């Protein structure tokens, strides 16, 4: 069934209240995953939370304007996230300072998502740390799977009314008020990376729609051996489809936070995905600190902008990362460790989309490739869609001929992001070849545990 787009009324409800009907269309990564919103709102059932309920008035907290009091001085929380020891994980599982590590927010997802994310990561031979923020109470089957996969799992004590309003019950410092989960996760990442050494490579990835085809760090390790001094690797979405001005969400996040002038200023630039960021310890620490300082300064969530992606795009495209001494590299789609394929299922931009592009990006075994195996690409790929509406970006910009113009790397993509937007084409392959449900580590994985 083709993916529908929300009406203006539903879209407004989505941004204000996180309406579950349009959950997937609202943001790239949010708290709720595929679980019902009811479960997210009923809170946690363990005894610790019951004692918290006696002292915290959640009804009062959740009735406040987002972050009315929680962001009185977010800079203090940034400092504490980088220096205060976090609460204990759900089970003893130490961080290994000299290993690479993958971070993610895995709150309120069913076990299938863990099989796709954790299972595929271990199955391809990744032997480093996997660090997740998750629920305080896990189903026995899921807990067994995560322990077997040697995941470092931190319980998150939060209660959410919407994606904009999450009351934090246990935090680095006392906090009164609410914050969006998309922002909360960056405090966690900033804390977790303190466990690692300058030699480690780290990444923060969206949990719901990411799957692995090989070790995500191998390409970056090769770059470092060749002399690269890059500290931060950012993943661009597909051009020319995903210019910032072509996407109502990304352009809207910048407009509603920074203003119309900045939306226009950065409109021609590629969308950078905040859910696929790699870095050295120094690079990722610099990025997370700058992002959270920007949150403290702009407080975009008070303007009903729950996403962190607007901050990410402005920090890079404005030169703020470079000015702060963070050597950042933007990899176009088709290069780098992450292949973000969501744009190939879009409709509003007017470019050619559909299963034929996904088919062209797969090899004989079904693995997703960085670039089409067949060169040159079919002429349809370099034309606007027959369904392109008048005024759509493709017809307006007349740049469809640039589609895949410089895309020559036909190797398998280490990380495939937004795969679920093509679940009909990729779901069977992922479940059969990549997903893993038990004993997922091959002979090379976890060898130093």
Band of residue 173 on the pLDDT scale cut at 50, 70, 90: confident
Residue 34 confidence (pLDDT) above 70: no
pLDDT, tens digit, 9 for 90 and up, residues 370-411: 999 988 999 999 999 999 999 999 999 999 999 999 899 999
pLDDT, tens digit, 9 for 90 and up, residues 177-231: 678 899 999 999 999 999 999 999 999 999 999 999 999 999 999 999 999 999 9
Q: Cα–Cα distances in Å, from 401 out to 125, 295, 352, 395, 409?
A: 39, 38, 11, 12, 18
DSSP track, 75-95: HHHHHHHTTSPPPPPSS----
**Count H helices, E strands: the chain?**
19, 13
pTM of the model: 0.83
Tokens of 206: 């969206």
Host H or E run for residue 233: strand 232-236
Residue 155 confidence (pLDDT) above 50: yes
Residue 88 confidence (pLDDT) above 60: yes
pLDDT, tens digit, 9 for 90 and up, residues 262-312: 999 999 999 999 999 999 999 999 999 999 989 888 888 877 787 899 999
Q: With beta carbons less than 8 A apart as the criterion, state whether 112 and 36 touch.
A: no
Q: With beta carbons less than 8 A apart as the criterion, state whether 101 and 200 touch.
A: yes
3-state SS assignment for residue 293: helix
Band of residue 446 on the pLDDT scale cut at 50, 70, 90: low
Rg of the chain over CA atoms, in angstroms? Answer: 21
Residue 269 is classified by DSSP as S
User: What mean pLDDT comes out for the span 154-162?
Assistant: 88
Band of residue 442 on the pLDDT scale cut at 50, 70, 90: low
Please list, in sequence order, all residues whose beta carbon lies within 8 angstroms of the beta carbon of residue 193, skipping any fewer than 6 positions away. 101, 103, 202, 281, 284, 285, 288
Residue 4 confidence (pLDDT) above 60: no
Q: Which of 71, 79, 66 is nearest to 296 (CA)?
A: 71
How far is the C-alpha of 210 from the C-alpha of 282, rounded, in Å?
24
3-state SS assignment for residue 155: strand
How far is the C-alpha of 145 from the C-alpha of 404, rounded, in Å?
40
For the chain, give the mean pLDDT. Answer: 83
28-32, 66-70, 171-175, 319-323: least confident range: 28-32
Q: With beta carbons less than 8 A apart as the criterion, state whether 403 and 351 touch.
A: yes
Tokens of 133: 């923020």
Q: With beta carbons less than 8 A apart as the criterion, state whether 61 and 167 touch.
A: yes
3-state SS assignment for residue 417: strand
Tokens of 33: 């995953």
How far is the C-alpha of 273 from the C-alpha of 416, rounded, in Å?
13
How far is the C-alpha of 46 from the C-alpha of 224, rounded, in Å?
46
């Amino acid at each position: 069934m083709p993916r529908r787009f929300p009406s203006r009324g539903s879209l407004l409800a989505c941004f204000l209240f996180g309406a579950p009907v349009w959950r997937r269309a609202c943001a790239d990564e949010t708290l709720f995953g595929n679980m019902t919103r009811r479960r997210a709102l009923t809170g946690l059932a363990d005894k610790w939370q019951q004692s918290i309920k006696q002292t915290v008035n959640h009804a009062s907290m959740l009735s406040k304007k987002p972050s009315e009091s929680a962001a009185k001085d977010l800079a203090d929380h940034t400092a504490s996230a980088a220096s205060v020891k976090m609460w204990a994980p759900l089970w003893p599982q130490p961080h290994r300072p000299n290993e690479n590590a993958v971070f993610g927010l895995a709150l309120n997802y069913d076990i299938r998502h863990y099989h796709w994310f954790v299972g595929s990561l271990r199955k391809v031979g990744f032997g480093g740390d996997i660090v997740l923020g998750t629920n305080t109470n896990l189903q026995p089957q899921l807990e067994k799977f995560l322990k077997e996969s040697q995941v470092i799992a931190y319980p998150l004590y939060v209660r959410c009314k919407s994606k904009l309003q999450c009351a934090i019950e246990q935090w680095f410092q006392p906090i009164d008020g609410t914050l969006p989960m998309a922002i909360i996760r960056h405090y966690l990442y900033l804390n977790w990376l303190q466990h690692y050494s300058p030699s480690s490579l780290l990444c923060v990835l969206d949990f719901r729609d990411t799957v692995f085809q090989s070790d995500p760090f191998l390409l970056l390790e090769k770059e470092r051996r060749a002399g690269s001094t890059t500290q931060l690797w950012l993943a661009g979405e597909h051009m020319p489809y995903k210019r910032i001005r072509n996407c109502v969400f990304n352009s809207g996040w910048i407009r509603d936070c920074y203003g119309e002038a900045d939306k226009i200023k950065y409109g021609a630039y590629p969308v950078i995905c905040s859910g696929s960021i790699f870095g050295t310890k120094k690079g990722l620490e610099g990025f997370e600190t700058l992002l959270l300082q920007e949150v403290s300064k702009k407080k975009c969530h008070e303007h009903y902008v729950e996403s962190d992606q607007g901050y990410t795009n402005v920090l890079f495209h404005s030169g703020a990362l470079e000015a702060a001494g963070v050597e950042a590299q933007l990899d176009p789609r088709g290069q780098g460790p992450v292949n973000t394929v969501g744009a190939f299922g879009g409709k509003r931009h007017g470019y050619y989309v559909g299963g034929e592009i996904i088919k062209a990006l797969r090899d004989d075994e079904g693995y997703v490739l960085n670039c089409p195996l067949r060169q040159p690409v079919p002429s349809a790929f370099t034309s606007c869609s027959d369904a392109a509406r008048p005024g759509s970006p493709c017809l307006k910009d007349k740049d469809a001929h640039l589609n895949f113009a410089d895309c020559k790397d036909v190797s398998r993509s280490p990380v495939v992001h937004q795969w679920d937007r093509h679940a009909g084409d990729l779901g069977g392959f992922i479940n059969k070849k990549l997903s893993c449900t038990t004993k997922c580590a091959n002979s090379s994985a976890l060898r130093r545990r």
